[in-house]
Amino acid sequence: MKNFGRANEPGQSVFYCSDDDSLSLFETSKLPKQNDNQPLEYITTSLWISTEEILVASVLTNDNIRGNHKAIDDLSKDFEYIVKTQADESAQAVSQLMQFLSREFSQAMAGNSNHYKITSAFTNYIFDSVKNADGILYPSTVVTHKGFNFALKPEVANKKLKFLVANRRKMEYAGNKKYVETEFIESEFHQGNDNIILWSK
């Protein structure tokens, strides 16, 4: 990637994925993030399964996203309980820091990649400093009520994920800021370990 991303520095490879198919579609598409009504867009997404346990650092606790997603609320409550049981100044400082970072990760920042400097710096801190951490878990800024986003180290994708299938959609502008799917192509289900996509004819 040439520019800063939510979890990457310029020139850094990061494996971005979601736990929900429709969420990955919205996250991949440029259409929800712009207003110029372009005539069409091709969107390619893929399905992977985990073959080993994946450990991620959660960045999900902030008041801006509270009430939008039950699983996120449950994780936030668990984190808040841990902070309360510590009952010291360092725990409160950690709580405030996580609130700040979570707000940064949950802000829509389309247009200027420099806005991602804080989130990418934190991600790389996790990559470099937290033992056994495979990546981070953070909320979607496009669909706030559905699923999670992950940013994983590339070697984690190679070792702990297996590619199954890819699909490509053609989305065409239908007026009134709406797009419709006019073409759907699915690849063959992958059986090997080379992660090669073979499109169905």
* pLDDT confidence of residue 134: 97
Name the nearest CA neighbour of 124 among 6, 3, 2. 6
* pLDDT confidence of residue 69: 64
Give the 3-state secondary structure of residue 114. helix
* pLDDT confidence of residue 99: 81
pLDDT in tens, the chain (201 residues): 788 999 999 999 999 999 888 888 888 887 766 666 788 889 999 999 999 999 998 887 656 666 666 777 777 777 777 777 776 777 778 778 888 888 888 787 666 788 899 999 999 999 999 989 999 988 887 776 677 899 999 999 999 999 999 999 999 988 887 888 899 999 988 777 676 788 876
> Which tokens sit at 134?
């495979």
pTM of the model: 0.81
* pLDDT confidence of residue 54: 95
Task: Give 48's Cβ-side CA count (13 Å radius).
Answer: 24
- Write the Ramachandran bin of 67: left for phi over 0, alpha for psi from -120 to 50, otherwise beta: left
Q: At what angle do helices 70-86 and 89-105 cross, to 10 degrees?
A: 160
- The secondary structure element, H or E, covering residue 18 is strand 15-18
The beta strand positions in 52-189, using DSSP E, are 56-58, 135-138, 149-152, 161-175, 178-186
Give the 3-state secondary structure of residue 155. helix
Query: Diameter of the chain by CA atoms?
Result: 62
* pLDDT confidence of residue 148: 83
Strand 56-58 relative to strand 40-50, pairing: unpaired
Cα separations (Å) of 92 from 80, 96, 107, 126?
10, 6, 23, 20
Strand 178-186 relative to strand 56-58, pairing: unpaired
* pLDDT confidence of residue 201: 63
* pLDDT confidence of residue 68: 64
